[in-house]
């Protein structure tokens, strides 16, 4: 179990440092910034690389909603759910600390701003409502779980699951960055919310509730299909 929890810690650390780090450090650089497209690929690449690196140790969840979905889908024991959640949240917080230290070294630093946090209303990149945020986070997390369960099922081509899962997360970000800055991952949302300026902490509840609901729905959809 210690090896599994360490793998989840470092996998989630890499997801937050790579995904949120790309948004904070590289997305908005004048003329050469990577923009939302680059951030979307950064999140997908973090999951793809860590799934290949430590997926064989812990299953490569890196996300409380994924752990819940896999548990409901019969792929993950319920007794391990809480320890996985703790490891994932701690990994996300550790990455946010590192990112904060880096950002605070910028010339003229006066605060981290939104810090790649998730939000709705005034905290949404394009001002989308709380209802829009709830719907998109639930739906996209549900599809993410369906893709994960399908890509890792016994009937799927062996060895390609991390590619499908990484590309799915990329697509999810391409769809939803304008709405919520994309969560589908309560740990990712928690880590940066602890340091962000603005209402990120006050709105964090939604980015736990919606992904967990979506994760449960996705697992139930997959089970209804009758596959393993």
Give pLDDT, residue 146: 97
Give pLDDT, residue 4: 98
* Cα distance from N-terminal residue to C-terminal residue, the chain: 24
Give pLDDT, residue 228: 64
CB atoms within 10 A of CB 202: 11
pLDDT digits (tens, 9 = 90+) for 168-215: 999 999 999 999 999 999 999 999 999 999 999 999 999 999 999 999
Domains annotated for the chain, with CATH where assigned, are: 2-104+115-224 (1.20.1080.10)
Residue 128 near residue 175 (C-beta atoms within 8 A): no
Give pLDDT, residue 227: 64
Q: What is the mean pLDDT of each run of 10 residues along the chain (228 residues)?
A: 97 98 94 95 98 96 98 96 98 98 94 96 97 98 97 90 97 98 98 97 98 98 83
Give pLDDT, residue 10: 97
b/e sequence 42-72, b meaning 16+ C-beta within 10 Å: bbbbbbbbbbeebbeebbbbbbbbbbbbbbb
Give pLDDT, residue 158: 83
């Amino acid at each position: 179990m210690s090896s599994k929890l360490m793998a989840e810690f470092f996998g989630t650390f890499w997801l937050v440092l790579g995904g949120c780090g790309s948004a904070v450090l590289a997305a908005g650089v004048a003329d050469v910034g990577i923009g939302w497209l680059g951030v979307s690929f950064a999140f997908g690449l973090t999951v793809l690389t860590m799934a290949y690196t430590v997926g064989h140790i812990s299953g490569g969840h890196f996300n409380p909603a994924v752990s819940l979905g896999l548990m409901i889908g019969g792929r993950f024991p319920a007794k391990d759910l809480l320890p996985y959640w703790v490891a994932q949240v701690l990994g996300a917080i550790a990455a946010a600390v590192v990112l904060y230290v880096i950002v605070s070294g910028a010339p003229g630093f006066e605060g981290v701003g939104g810090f790649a946090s998730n939000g709705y209303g005034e905290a949404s990149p394009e001002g989308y409502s709380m209802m829009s945020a709830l719907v998109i986070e639930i739906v996209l997390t549900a599809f993410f779980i369906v893709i994960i369960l399908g890509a890792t099922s016994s009937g799927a081509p062996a060895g390609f699951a991390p590619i499908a899962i990484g590309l799915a997360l990329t697509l999810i970000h391409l769809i939803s960055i304008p709405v919520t800055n994309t969560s589908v991952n309560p740990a990712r949302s928690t880590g940066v919310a602890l340091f962000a300026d603005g209402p990120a902490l006050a709105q964090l509840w939604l980015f736990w509730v919606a992904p967990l609901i979506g994760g449960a729905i996705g697992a139930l959809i997959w089970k209804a299909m009758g596959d393993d």
